[in-house]
Structure 1
Amino acid sequence: MSKKAETGPVAAPRTGAATAPRRAGILALRIAGTAGRRVLMLLALLALVFAAVELLPGDAASASAERGESAADLAERRHLLGLDRPLWERFANWMAALPTGDLGTSARGQKATELLADPLPNTLVLAMSAFGITVVLSLLLGCWAAARPGRLTDRVVSHTSTAAFAVPEFVVSAVLLLVLSLWTGWLPAVTVTGGDGRPATWTMLIMPVLALVIPQTGWNTRVVRGALADQASTPHVEAAHLDGLPLHRILLRHQLPGAVPAIATGIATSTGLLFGGAVVVETLFNYPGIGTVLAGAVAARDTPLIAGVVMCAAAVVSLVLLAADLIRYATLGARA
């Protein structure tokens, strides 16, 4: 009897069962690493905000000074606001209170969280409404163009989306005001707030949302179209064409799933652009959001309030980016 016969049959290694925990561990490490990088980027951004405000001429004490105040009065106000302390110490104290939800005290003596309690939800409604519409329109237009590669529809969508993204939000806002308000009178030119600090009617959201949607839809339509074009040259998509499958089935079941990571990353990146554009749009339409608060805080050199606005916006953007990373890792892990 041979040695092989004595030892008996050798069981085949269970590759799938063995690698599943390993894949889960790698995925957890990637997520933790990504979250850590997001936190470090946020810390660097907040430090940059403190330094940038410090470099501006004047400070919160001089910006809030009344006519006829003496140098002693200004020095006393600087002491009360902590402006006589080093910048690094003020930043460290602000960061130490951040985990408790304390965004500091403004130059006027009010809590930054109280000043942002009403405007922040208004901005979130504006930005998230624009984000949702952008996602839907970008997917529809990108898939429509990808289903007709090289044809007139594809060229029209590509050129139109490029032009839409190239136009800044304030130009789009001006055109919307001219057409939808001044010429036709269909929509109000400015936002009127009700007793709860929110827009009096939902129609006052239409033009601000459109001003954000149009440029971002142009950008994301090109992202969707490019991601689907990359998938069109993959072997499994070419095999589906050779099998004679319908074009819409190939697009939805073979190209789109593979393009999800690139599309999710591109759309998530536009979240930061939406918040940046919201500051401009809110000012033009007199919308009661954090854009107005930020403009006043910069004029007053109110560092804690500026940092609070940046912190809130950056936290939302970071969460969206983290969600996009999770989608990308999950998709790539499923295909591995």
Structure 2
Amino acid sequence: MAELSRALKDSAVGAPVRAATARHLPLPLLGRVAAVVGRRVLMLAVLLALVFAAVELLPGDAATATSERGESAADIAARRHLLGLDRPAWERFWDWMTGLFTGDLGVSARGEKVAHMLADPFPNTLLLAAVAFALTAVASLALGCWAAARPGRITDRVIGHAATSAFAIPEFVVSVGLLVLLSLWTDWLPAVTVAGADGRPATWTMLVMPVLALVIPQTGWNTTIVRGALADQAAAPHVEAAHLDGLPVRRVIWRHALPGALPAIATGLATSTGMLLGGTAVVETLFNYPGIGSVLASAVSTRDTPLIAGVVVCAGAAISVVLLAADLVRARVLGSHA
């Protein structure tokens, strides 16, 4: 799922977003938005086809993977027929795709509705990713602007090296480090997440380490983007003129440089959405977080194609909404400077 962001930079959101923006966007921009949405829908369909094909290439199938000890070959064959696995893969893919338009994500290998299986864990994952996204945006903007206000100085160099190092560390390593530091050594935070009666984390403290494990690498990535975008804007005539007028550095950055840097910053943050959702698969497993990470791992082990595809389409829709928002920000800013 970590590659999902790049695949979906040209993939899917639906008509509700187009309808919501239609009242506020000029017609040329509406045409571009419609074209982007169409390409993303097509790319998501291709991605789902690849998911079906990849699962088909794995050894075994859902009928054998979910079989119990002592079941006969006839029992497994009956389950294979019940799941439709004796039909061609393209036919099963077509049936699943046509059901998707009605909100039907199919039935899992264990006979449960996929939509019901994702109803609790997917909002938990969205909560984790949304909090991590908000903190990443705030931290990267603050650090990038702080570094840009002191170009070439030690603060700029330290932030630059720290950001590069943070992005280079995988979420798995960050998670283990946080577990050792904040749980095993200091006992400040719980090592695992315990779900309450509603299926959500029992206390907010159980969100801290999973969120930090996602935020630290992505803050490094986005701080680098913010710093680079502001450096590009520093050479713009209106920014140089603001410096010559004697305006304070912070005001020059926030009022003159940052608006022009927004398209690059928005694109970087939108790309991070896919990386955040992809990283949740690892982070949720390590912290026993009740999200789609464990659901996806279980689905892959049982060759449960409808469940895997359901996770992909839900994550893809979330990523696509953020990518469309980034496209609108970029189009709006570039249009205002045209």
| Secondary structure of residue in 2 paired with 1:296 | helix
* Identity level (%): 73
CA distance in 2, matches of 1:137, 1:188: 24
> Paired residues, what number?
314
Compare CA radii of gyration and give the structure with the larger one: 1
Code of the residue aligned with 2:214 in structure 1: it is L
Structural mapping, 1:242-321, within 5 Å: 242-321=244-323
Unpaired runs of 5+ in structure 2? 1-24
Distance, in Å, in 2 between the alignment partners of 1:35 and 1:262 is 20
> How far does residue 75 in structure 1 lie from its aligned partner after superposition?
1.5
CA shift, 1:28, in A, is 1.1
Q: CA deviation at 1:69?
A: 2.1
The match for 1:217 among 219, 222, 228 is: 219
| Distance (Å, rounded) in 2 between the aligned partners of 1:333 and 1:285 | 44
User: 1:71: how far off?
Assistant: 2.0
SS in 2 for 1:101: coil
Query: In 2, distance between residues paired with 1:220 and 1:192?
Result: 31
Give 1:29 shift.
Answer: 1.2
Q: Greater relative contact order (Cα 8 A, min sep 6): structure 1 or 2?
A: 2
SS of equivalent residue, structure 2 residue 26: helix
What amino acid is the match of 2:96? W
- What residue number does 1:123 align with? 125
Deviation at 1:191, TM superposition (A): 0.6
In 2: Cα distance, 1:213 partner to 1:236 partner = 34
Residue identity matched to 1:203:
T
Q: 1:50 aligns with which of 49, 52, 55?
A: 52
Shift of 1:250: 1.1
Q: CA deviation at 1:245?
A: 1.9
**Could you give the per-residue CA deviations for residues 196-249 of structure 1, whole angstroms, max 9, x where no partner exists?**
111111100000000000000000000100000010111111122222222111
Gapped runs of 5+ residues in structure 1? 1-22
SS in 2 for 1:94: helix
C-alpha separation in 2, matches of 1:91 and 1:62: 20
1:203 and 2:214 are equivalent in the alignment: no
**TM-score normalised by structure 1 residue count:** 0.92
Please give the secondary structure, in 1, of the residue aligned with 2:226: helix
Code of the aligned partner of 1:88: W
Q: Distance in 2 between matches of 1:41 and 1:229?
A: 34
Task: After TM superposition, list the pairs within 5 Å mapping 1:77-156 onto structure 2.
Answer: 77-156=79-158
How far did 1:293 drift? 0.6
| From 38, 41, 54, the counterpart of 2:40 | 38
Q: Give me the CA root mean square deviation.
A: 0.9
